[in-house]
Amino acid sequence: MEMFNLNFITKIFAKEIKLKIDFCEKNLDRFLPEELQNEYSAFFGKKNIEYKEYKCQSRCEECKISPYAIVNGEFIAADDSAQLLEKLKYIQDIKK
């Protein structure tokens, strides 16, 4: 019985935290260049990443200015899509 409890506890603490990333479809269309689409797809394919695209997130002012994502409820903006991807990767690394 003790071995079962230890394995159960180990699994709980070893679990990676999922990142829930929400995007505005219009923002992606506006700022995500074709040459970065494969990098974004590879990032979204990771097991601890859950992402969703919304038609509109009612953040029109931010949407017009720069690429952004909502990560676990927090607004994350960047100067360009490459920088946004780097920020998302950094957040993923610190959440491990």
Per-residue pLDDT of 19-68, as tens digits, reads: 999 999 999 999 999 999 999 999 999 989 999 999 999 999 999 999 99
Cα 37 to chain centroid, rounded = 14
Q: pLDDT band for position 70 (50/70/90)?
A: very high
Residue where the block lists tokens 């690429």: 67
Q: Phi and psi dihedrals of 67, rounded to 5?
A: -70, 145
On whether the CB atoms of residues 30 and 63 are closer than 8 A, the answer is yes
On whether the CB atoms of residues 81 and 33 are closer than 8 A, the answer is yes
pLDDT of residue 1: 46
| Sequence ranges of the domains in the chain | 18-95
Contacts of 52 (CB under 8 A, 6+ apart): 20, 21, 22, 23
25 closest CA partner among 56, 61, 70, 59: 56
Q: What is the pTM of this model?
A: 0.81
52 closest CA partner among 81, 82, 73: 73
